[in-house]
Amino acid sequence: MIDQTNDGIVGIYESFSDQKYRLACIKDQGVYKLVFLSAGSSGYSQWRLGDVKAILEPSATRGAFKAKWYMADKTISQGIILFKGATLSITIEGASEG
């Protein structure tokens, strides 16, 4: 059951930005990934349910991850993902997209 294996990071997250997208954080063979669920803007028309939005690499700080982040056009950027309580914070290098 998910309640028995939930580590406080796995779950569904919704943005408050203009993109209004929803992401799920999953743990796939020991690797955290953010997967696309939906978006409220037309800039995500090439995205499908379950597409990988980011692959997370753990850091020395609990809840902080380095990320390979897939932008709206599916180009790759680097970023930092922070999990704190029920909040997911995303910082993408040199990008206006979250």
34 residue type, one letter: L
Q: 77 pLDDT exceeds 90?
A: yes
**Are 37 and 49 a contacting pair, CB within 8 Å?**
yes
Percentage of residues in the chain having pLDDT higher than 90: 56
User: What's 41's DSSP letter?
Assistant: S
Beta-strand relationship, 52-58 and 64-70: antiparallel
Rounded Cα–Cα distance for residues 30 and 51 (Å): 18
User: Could you report the per-residue pLDDT of 50-68, keeping only the tens digit for each?
Assistant: 999 999 999 999 999 999 9
**Average pLDDT estimate for 24-45:** 89
